Amino acid sequence: MNYHDTVNWMFSQLPMYQNQGKSAYKVDIANTLLLANHLENPENKFKSIHVAGTNGKGSTSHMLASVLQEAGYKVGLYTSPHLKDYRERIKINGKEISKQFVIQFVKRNKSFFQLNALSFFEMTVGLAFEYFAKQKVDIAIIEVGLGGRLDSTNIITPEVSIITNIGLDHTQFLGNTLQEIAKEKAGIIKSNIPVVIGETQKETEAVFQEVAQNNKAKIIFADQSKTHAYKSDLKGKYQDKNIKTVTQAIKEIQLKGFNVSKENIEKGLLNVVKNTGLLGRWQIVQKSPKVICDTAHNREGLKIVMSQLQNEIFDNLHIVFGVVNDKDLNTIIDLLPKNANYYLCKPNIPRGLSEKKLEACFKNKNLTCKSYNSVNEAYKTAIDKAKDKDVVYVGGSTFVVSEII
């Protein structure tokens, strides 16, 4: 199989949350442990930082990688989902894993994958960990896929754990309250390993304190700590919280012998996109008319992004919007600005929500909208109708953004 065939096989043959939703979610990490053993436990052969949370874990992971790269380290970065190419998920110093490594990994282990019915995510974690081990990275930043306790990535023992924040997302897997979700994400807290919590929330603070205490793990609430006000090339007011989280995590790994200067932190935070290739975080696609895209897709994320959008100066606001079918629209629709024209679409994945259903819901809320057959058609129409002093925003789902960048 060539690279295209290999990736298609991974996508089509195996359960994958990105496409299927709930049916792809595993309730334990037994398969991951089985695979790790089969691969001779690559997760024990490199140092790591583990990053969980409802929002901001992708940006936080990329910021950390950028800072450590500036400090001269060979840095692995594992994130999900990808926007354009599967290989975006696995990088070293901003360079994507080679197509050949992906092909050979699947070829070598295909019969084992089939025999044990491994999921797409389990396979990908195995691939990333083997790659980082073989390439002898100094440290790898590992972003949790979903939750924490039962996530495939949760077989590592990191230098520091991070939980950015807790919001009501993926409730069908993780629980219906902030406390229940916090318990799942707190599953990445390990014995005697420090944990940095990005945001203090009254509903979850006690949950984290208790799990940390039980594990004799030092706990730091980043928003309660005084830190230097660093700037980043990642735009969006919401990045301020992530910057504080990163700063605290760096302090913890400095205590473990990593040599990171203030200048490394400054340069790393100002060159995240250049160093890591991050896409889709308050990304300005073009200037006239101004087009902004952002992958925020749950209530907490959209609340911040919509607030920022209203601070933009424009004559008219055009919003290209689509969601997945397990999204509870009632939790987000009230956040969307009334003073906008909506171009509704279905992201091109099996679990995308029909544009007609989306249109019915928007019309019910008296929002000015029209549905289109594809993301590209919706986007092209919005661009055609927008004047130079208008703003076009593209979002609602990672998968909508991935189709226009």
- Distance in angstroms (rounded) separating the CA atoms of residues 66 and 47: 16
Place of tokens 């400090």: 71
Nearest to 110 by CA among 10, 20, 33, 32: 10
The dihedrals phi and psi of 58, each to the nearest 5 degrees, come to -70, -50
pLDDT of residue 24: 46
Place of tokens 């004559």: 315
- Distance in angstroms (rounded) separating the CA atoms of residues 362 and 2: 43
Give me the torsion for CA of 280, 283, 288, 289, rounded to 10°: 60
pLDDT of residue 241: 94
pLDDT of residue 301: 87
Cβ contact 46:68 at 8 Å: no
- Distance in angstroms (rounded) separating the CA atoms of residues 23 and 20: 6
CA–CA distances in Å: residue 147 to residues 135, 161, 167, 198, 325:
28, 14, 11, 16, 19
Give me the torsion for CA of 53, 54, 59, 63, rounded to 10°: -10
pLDDT of residue 228: 87
Alpha helices in 314-369 (DSSP H): 355-364
Alpha helices in 47-170 (DSSP H): 57-70, 99-115, 120-134
pLDDT of residue 46: 98
pLDDT of residue 20: 47
pLDDT along the chain (405 residues), means of 10: 93 57 61 97 98 94 98 97 94 98 97 91 96 98 91 96 84 75 94 97 95 98 91 87 97 98 98 95 94 91 92 97 90 95 95 95 97 98 98 96 95
Place of tokens 């295909």: 110
The dihedrals phi and psi of 159, each to the nearest 5 degrees, come to -75, -35
- Distance in angstroms (rounded) separating the CA atoms of residues 112 and 17: 21
